[in-house]
């Protein structure tokens, strides 16, 4: 294995995700996997950890097998991805102040307008429709309370 493959983003992210999958699986062993009532609290994390390990190893093997000579890094794409993660973190942190629907609408608008490079009007329409859809499904149909913010919704 050459040094170039160790600098490949897919190999690095696959290794990190495999380690995270092992950690999740190991932590799930402290909980009940299956109880009298059916699957316990460890059921989902155990299988999620296994799936993470298998899929990340598949990513690494596929990348190593199909490697080409040094591919240029798409720095514009990396920047868009990092900004998208930052906006996601900001929206998650502001959810209890702005409320779920406003935070989700902002995140959806940003994703459509910035990441997918659609017109702002398209982003606004999709953000409003998606937030309204969440309202219809969760608080209205399922009676599940979502965080409300300073605007009352």
Q: Which residues contact 88 (CB under 8 A, 6 or more apart)?
A: 107
**pTM greater than the 0.85 cutoff:** no
Predicted confidence pLDDT, tens digits, the chain (153 residues): 466 777 777 888 899 999 999 999 999 999 999 988 889 999 999 999 999 999 999 999 998 888 765 566 677 888 888 899 999 999 999 999 999 999 999 999 999 999 899 999 999 999 999 999 998 999 888 888 888 889 887
Instruction: Note whether 21 and 49 are within 8 A (CB).
Output: yes
């Amino acid at each position: 294995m050459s040094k170039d493959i160790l600098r490949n983003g897919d190999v690095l992210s696959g290794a990190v995700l495999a380690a995270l999958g092992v950690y999740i699986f190991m932590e799930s062993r402290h909980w009940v996997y299956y109880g009298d009532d059916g699957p316990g609290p460890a059921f989902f994390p155990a299988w999620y950890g296994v799936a993470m390990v298998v899929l990340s190893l598949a990513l690494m093997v596929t990348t190593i097998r199909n490697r080409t000579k040094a591919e240029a890094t798409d720095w514009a794409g990396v920047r868009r991805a990092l900004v998208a993660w930052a906006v996601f973190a900001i929206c998650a942190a502001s959810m209890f102040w702005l409320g779920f629907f406003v935070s989700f609408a902002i995140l959806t608008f940003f994703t459509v307008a910035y990441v997918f490079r659609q017109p702002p009007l398209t982003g606004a329409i999709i953000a409003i429709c998606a937030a309204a859809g969440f309202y219809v499904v969760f608080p209205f149909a399922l009676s599940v309370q979502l965080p409300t913010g300073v605007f009352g919704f």
